[in-house]
Amino acid sequence: MPFNRQAMSKRILVVLSEWGYWGEELIGPLDVLTGAGYQLDFMTPFGRKPPALPPSYDPTYIDPPLDKGVTSEHFARRTKEVENSDLLNNPINLAEQLPLMPYFNSPNFGHDLEAFNNKRDEFWAKFVDGYDALLLPGGSGPMVDMVNNERLHNLILGYVNRDKLIAAECYCVTCLAFARDWTERKSIIWGKHVTGHAREYDYKEGTGFAQMYGYDGQPMNTSANFGPPFYPLEYILRDATGPHGKYHGGVGKTLSTILDYPFLTGRSTQDSQLVGELMVKVLEQGLRRYGW
């Protein structure tokens, strides 16, 4: 059956971490998508400018588990250009657009839950219906403010509800594993094929953040180096996809990019440009499967 392209707004919503995104994982798809005529709107958890992780604009950086450079001169330069521009200065504030679901034991849970669901419908009309796809660039920062972000989970659920494309890279693939309907609580990637950081490629130490925030929510104006990632992503994805889905690690291969519509997942930095190219093919040519 020929692909019947629906009317498109040619708009992509991009959610970025305020603790640090990996430059190429934004720049790769951004340059492809803008080159294809798409407008990208940016959102962060609290409306603060997202910073690029320093190694992602350092062409001399050697990735420890891969034992090779992963930041090219081109993407280092482009990341710095975006950092020094005003492109990301005024992102949409996710927290202002959608409240958190009320606590189960709150005094007016029933009425508050109804109000929340109505507000979420309005939120979906604005930030799902008005866009063609959702893009979640990765890096270590998302582990802090995106992976277990209930507001972001509800945004993702809106794209699932509307059967729209969701592209996630690196550690942001975890958002797909944890975004679950409150009543069903079943993984939205159950039975799906996805990729993400393989255990072999996880850091043993040195997970970094470009910016940190204190208990008062104010920037600490410092970067940080921690130990290993907070969790082994491969294990989470293997469990979340279940017996009829599959996790693809692509160990030993330069690229690992998997499309099982509506989910497009990229393992790491090197997949970023291909993620953008596949987004265009999904939206304009009806591609529904790739990489498996």
pLDDT digits (tens, 9 = 90+) for 78-113: 999 999 999 999 999 999 999 999 999 999 999 999
Say which CATH topology domain 11-290 has: Rossmann fold (3.40.50)
| Whole-number Å distance between alpha carbons of 212 and 217 | 9
pLDDT, tens digit (0-9, with 9 covering 90-100), for 225-282: 888 999 999 999 999 999 999 999 999 999 999 999 999 999 999 999 999 999 999 9
Domain residue ranges of the chain, discontinuous segments joined by +: 11-290
Strands 39-44, 263-266: pairing kind: unpaired
What is the pLDDT, as a whole number, of residue 275?
98
Q: How many CB atoms lie within 10 A of CB 212?
A: 16
- Identify which has the larger pLDDT, 223 or 233: 233
| Whole-number Å distance between alpha carbons of 173 and 8 | 25
Question: Residue 7: is its pLDDT beyond 80?
Answer: no
pTM for the full predicted model = 0.96
Question: Residue 5: is its pLDDT beyond 80?
Answer: no
Local structure of 168: helix, strand or coil: strand
| Whole-number Å distance between alpha carbons of 158 and 280 | 20
pLDDT, tens digit (0-9, with 9 covering 90-100), for 13-64: 999 999 999 999 999 999 999 999 999 999 999 999 999 999 999 999 999 9
Hey, what are 171's tokens? 């550690």
Question: Residue 2: is its pLDDT beyond 60?
Answer: no
